[in-house]
Amino acid sequence: MRRSSLARVFQRIGRGLLGSWCIVGPPALIVAFTDFTLALVIAFLFFVGGFYVIAILKWRSQGMRFIKNTVRDTLLLFLFAAIGGVFGPLLASSGTSTTIAPMLTLVCAVLGFWIVEVVSPGEPKLDQQ
């Protein structure tokens, strides 16, 4: 049964968020907290470890195809977020509401992944085994 393109868009966004969290999340949280208590360190390790466990379990069940798709979707998510980050302040400086800038990043990511899904529907065959 084929899923809708919108469902595949959100699957790609989820993989992109997982990959971006595994790359950017731990350093960002370390910089965000200045004073660590023992309980905070333990909670931080469980929170970070949960995402790595998800990635490892998916990798073990799907193989390198999952890693390749996650890396691709993470790079696309960074690209679409950068595009939304450029156009958001441009629209805000033109007199529109300043609350549109963060929303534009999300809209740009969804529309960007949707365009990618329309151009190349489904999962690309990255590994020829």
Supply the pTM of this predicted model.
0.73
In a domain, 67, yes or no: yes
Spell out the per-residue pLDDT of the chain, length 129, in tens: 456 777 888 888 888 888 888 888 777 777 777 677 778 878 887 888 888 898 899 889 988 888 898 899 999 888 888 888 787 777 767 666 666 667 777 788 888 888 887 777 655 554 444
Whether residue 12 contacts residue 113, with contact meaning beta carbons closer than 8 Å, is answered with yes
In a domain, 129, yes or no: no
* Per-residue pLDDT at 60: 92
In a domain, 127, yes or no: no
Task: Pick left, alpha or beta for residue 84 (phi over 0 → left; psi -120 to 50 → alpha; otherwise beta).
Answer: alpha
Instruction: Provide the number of structural domains found in the chain.
Output: 1
In a domain, 128, yes or no: no
Residue 98 per-residue DSSP state: T
Amino acid identity, position 30: I
Q: Give the N- to C-terminal CA distance of the chain in Å, as an integer.
A: 24
